Chains A and B, each alone.
Chain A
């Protein structure tokens, strides 16, 4: 390298003929997958959530027929178990990923950002864990 004057306009730019250098190892496509997940889960959630609302609130007497027996009857079928499980996981992760973005945008200090993200992760684990447990271990005969 020569010690020639390095004008501000070119500072930080590699010489055009410099040997190709491996880019930083930190690069990943994590943000791309997160972006894709938001779009795809959003489409699936439109069907799942609107279907859920329709069944629970509108069809066949709507919200007035919901009781212990109704829930027990639904969760006896693997179809509704999978539906509710998918809805729980996708909605929770979709919402949490959105909140992660909001936290990244608005947190001003790295410490604040870290703790808010930890709080978010804890809430996701709790909600998803508890919900999944209930869907799979629901016992209609409990009194």
Chain B
């Protein structure tokens, strides 16, 4: 079955827009889904606005597939980041139905019901908006670099393999999973307010090295995180833990850093 222009597919608000030449066949079992996307073109728009698209989707499709469909067949100007599309590069964090998620990990069947077949997609909050779903990630990476996210040693290089016990490895296992997608940091209400809080992701990546038995820069990182804009700004709202697509217990990691600071013991 092929679709023609009069089947109602396309931008709801603008039927006369530049139409696609050829729509792909609709697979069996597809449902019509209304995707509402926050659009913003800095060269034309004063402020962001919403646009809705009614498109066919399989319940097993990911939200990223919907964005692809819109970009490839309806409006090529739709702008968003994605690289691997398999939940590991951390490029496509966005607000899906109001929650920070990776577009490549959320399935259509998980956001629609029999009665409501609508999905809202917005850019992540708290970072400067550049276009549509694209934000400037530089402030996020600036905070990340601040905690020195690399192994620091001051002693002589070991002459043999540096062995770490499974117990020592387990202490920071959770925080090695971070993919720097910014879903946690941009879900944090403290980060939304206009100041320099380093944010959960930077603390998670500091935790990964602070609690690594081979690393010797822990005290330096703790000092950096004890700053006025460091871990003490955390209000334990758990938004970050809820947002993390890798299932990292972010708030727990932040609390562990607080405890290490309080007792000056790693």
Interface of A toward B, CB cutoff 8 Å: 9, 11-14, 16, 20, 23, 26-27, 29-32, 34-36, 104-106, 108
The interface residues of chain A lying within 8 Å CB-to-CB of B193 are 105-106
Beta-carbon contact of A31 and B230 below 8 Å:
yes
| Interface residues as binary, B225-237 with A (CB distance below 8 Å gives 1, 0 otherwise) | 0111010110000
The interface residues of chain B lying within 8 Å CB-to-CB of A34 are 232
Interface of B toward A, CB cutoff 8 Å: 141-142, 145-146, 148, 150, 152, 154, 190, 193-195, 220, 223-224, 226-228, 230, 232-233, 258, 261-262
Measured CA separation A31–B258 after assembly (Å): 11
Q: Which residue of B lies closest to A16 (CB)?
A: B150
- B interface SS class: helix
State how many angstroms separate the Cβ of A41 from the closest Cβ of chain B: 16
The interface residues of chain B lying within 8 Å CB-to-CB of A9 are 141
Beta-carbon contact of A12 and B220 below 8 Å:
no
Q: How many A-B Cβ pairs are below 8 Å? A: 43
Beta-carbon contact of A16 and B220 below 8 Å:
no
Contacts known (A104-B195, A108-B194); A32 close to B226, Cβ less than 8 A? yes
27 cross-chain CB contacts under 8 A: A9-B141, A12-B146, A13-B145, A13-B150, A14-B148, A16-B150, A16-B152, A20-B154, A27-B223, A27-B224, A27-B227, A29-B261, A31-B226, A31-B227, A31-B228, A31-B230, A31-B232, A31-B233, A32-B226, A32-B232, A32-B261, A32-B262, A35-B232, A104-B195, A105-B190, A105-B193, A105-B195
Measured CA separation A20–B195 after assembly (Å): 28
